[in-house]
Amino acid sequence: MTLGFPDGFRWGTATAAYQIEGSTTADGRGPSIWDTFTARSGLATGDPACDHYRRYREDIGLLSELGIPYYRFSVAWSRIMPDGRTVEPRGLAFYDRLVDALLENGVTPMVTLYHWDLPEALQAEGGWPNRELADLFADYALTVHKVLSDRVQQWTTINEPFCAAFIGYGNGDHAPGIQDEGAALVAGHNLLLAHGKAAQALRSDGGEQEVSIVLNFAPVLTDVDDAAHREAARKFDFLHNRFFLDPLLGRGYPPELLADLAHLGTLEPAIADGDLEIIAQPLDVLGVNYYAPARAMPLEDPEADSNCPLPGLRGMDVQPPRGELTSLGWEQRPECFTELLLWLQEHCDGLPLVIAENGAAFEDEVVEGRVHDEKRVRYFADHLAAVHAAIERGADVRGYMAWSLLDNFEWAMGYTQRFGLVHVDFETQERVLKDSALFYADVVARNGL
Ligand code: FCB
């Protein structure tokens, strides 16, 4: 049986600048927080990653060979404005060439303006807890728009503000590696403000375009269905799935969430008059990243710190995942994907959705020039079927971007986690199509599964 997708469904792959580009000092690029964080923590760095800055033509060739018509990539602020403010034309020129090369190969570019790589110079001014960054981000967005908007129609402001704010400034597992949950909440608010101001800037510059933001969602499961477990799940659900979404939809922060976080004392004072209006710029589509659900349980002491990225979300813990895990230790639950999309359809009053990322890391091996990654093929097949089921039940899903085109630099995990449709040998930079790439190309060609 074929599971057909709607006509015009957008099939693509996604990447992010710091995870693939390498060449971190080329053409005047300034350091980003990921350069300094990885160096300081002794972690693997984004150099050379996939050396995509120099090999982008080869990589775009893979897209055209596979017949995948959309490509979501991010622009590095630290290439465009090495100090966060002053334009470096050579950095802009790279993305100009990249967009031309995509279009020459019949691939439609989708730009994400911020995928976590803040210029270090702006971290030196306090980073995202400093609200001035919202205006600077809007200036940067406009600068990129002026150069690419004659050829790019799909614009995403920010990727996963949850991770940028709470993992960057909350538990500090990501750059800039700061552990200050009060500051993390302010960072979250300022990222939303930056989104709103950038959306205004992009629209003020004219042109036909779709403006979106990409959020990561995790449906929250519990082992037991009682009041205490439901409340634990509610807390994590509101932090993870609604902190960013509800203000974007014009509803402000959910009152229960404000109450959960009130004792930290920083979020409400950070909300200036007019901020919520700026944040609630109309979205043309919502970008949805889904990988896995979360599990929550109540703590006996309702005042006890949480083990989640924001310890001050008291009285609940996130529990270990279950079943057959990916190599990153993530649970595989395609049915949660269907439920998530149906919930979003309802909660966002019919706002069109695009899956901006979905995929899985497994331990792959090249054997006689082939990579038989059955587990990834199964993950994609199951999750695409889950998207299809949501569409059948009324979700307005317009597209799907597989994460990722290439094995790449997986943030704090370095090069240990392979998410690519294409295997990358990080010593030789040789690319090998995995079976999942051929599987996905076939889905795209049939517009169905
Ligand atoms: C998402 C990120 C992306 C990648 C995947 C595995 O949270 O947006 O860059 O790391 O996870």
Which tokens in the block code for residue 289? Answer: 């990243």
Which residues have CB under 8 Å from 200's CB, separation 6+?
A: 138, 278, 281
pLDDT level of residue 261 (50, 70, 90 thresholds): very high
Give the pLDDT of residue 338: 99
Which residues have CB under 8 Å from 178's CB, separation 6+?
A: 127, 168, 169, 172, 184
Give the pLDDT of residue 112: 99
Residue pLDDT, tens place only, 52-92: 999 999 999 999 999 999 999 999 999 999 999 999 999 99
* Domain 10-216+328-446 grouped into CATH 3.40.50.150: no
Kindly state if the Cβ of 410 falls inside 6 Å of ligand 1: yes
Q: What is the mean pLDDT of residues 91-100?
A: 98
CA–CA separation, 161 and 181 (whole Å): 14
pLDDT at 1 over 80: no
CA–CA separation, 157 and 62 (whole Å): 26
Q: What backbone torsions phi and psi does residue 221 show, to the nearest 5 degrees?
A: -105, 155
Give the pLDDT of residue 299: 98
pLDDT level of residue 432 (50, 70, 90 thresholds): very high
Residue pLDDT, tens place only, 16-46: 999 999 999 999 999 999 999 999 999 999 9
DSSP character string of 190-221: HHHHHHHHHHHHHHHT-SS-EEEEEEEE--EE
**Which is catalytic among the residues 120, 160, 181, 331?**
160
Report which secondary-structure segment, H or E, holds 137: helix 132-148
CA 405, 191, 111, 239 torsion-angle sign: positive
Kindly state if the Cβ of 112 falls inside 6 Å of ligand 1: no
Kindly state if the Cβ of 280 falls inside 6 Å of ligand 1: no
Report which secondary-structure segment, H or E, holds 71: strand 70-74
- Using the atom order of ligand 1, give the atom closest to the CA of residue 216: 7
pLDDT level of residue 182 (50, 70, 90 thresholds): very high
Q: Which of 20, 32, 244, 357 to mutate to test the pocket of ligand 1 (most atoms within 8 A of CB)?
A: 357
Give the pLDDT of residue 104: 98
Share of the chain above pLDDT 90, in %: 99
Give the pLDDT of residue 240: 98
CA atoms within 13 A on the CB side of 150: 5
Give the pLDDT of residue 21: 99
How do strand 316-318 and strand 294-298 relate by DSSP bridges?
antiparallel
Residue 405 CA, ligand 1 centroid: distance in Å: 12
Alpha helix segments (H runs only) across 265-400:
267-270, 275-279, 334-347, 374-392
Residue pLDDT, tens place only, 379-425: 999 999 999 999 999 999 999 999 999 999 999 999 999 999 999 99
pLDDT at 272 over 80: yes
Cα 322 vs. chain centroid, distance in angstroms? 24
pLDDT level of residue 357 (50, 70, 90 thresholds): very high
Single-letter code of the amino acid located at 6: P
Which residues have CB under 8 Å from 80's CB, separation 6+?
A: 87, 88, 91, 92, 95, 140, 143, 144
Give the pLDDT of residue 61: 98
Kindly state if the Cβ of 288 falls inside 6 Å of ligand 1: no
Q: Is 160 a catalytic residue?
A: yes
pLDDT level of residue 231 (50, 70, 90 thresholds): very high
Give the pLDDT of residue 247: 99
CA 121, 127, 131, 134 torsion-angle sign: positive
pLDDT at 151 over 90: yes
Q: Which of 410, 415, 416 to mutate to test the pocket of ligand 1 (most atoms within 8 A of CB)?
A: 410
Nearest alpha-carbon partner for 286 in 356, 229, 224, 231: 356
pLDDT at 292 over 90: yes
The mean predicted confidence, pLDDT, of the chain is 98
Look up the pTM and report it. Answer: 0.98
> Whose C-alpha lies nearest to ligand 1, atom 10?
410
**Which is catalytic among the residues 21, 88, 331, 357?**
357
Q: What backbone torsions phi and psi does residue 301 show, to the nearest 5 degrees?
A: -90, 110
Which residues have CB under 8 Å from 158's CB, separation 6+?
A: 112, 113, 114, 164, 191, 194, 195, 198, 213, 214
Residue 163 CA, ligand 1 centroid: distance in Å: 9
- Using the atom order of ligand 1, give the atom closest to the CA of residue 159: 8
Which residues have CB under 8 Å from 346's CB, separation 6+?
A: none
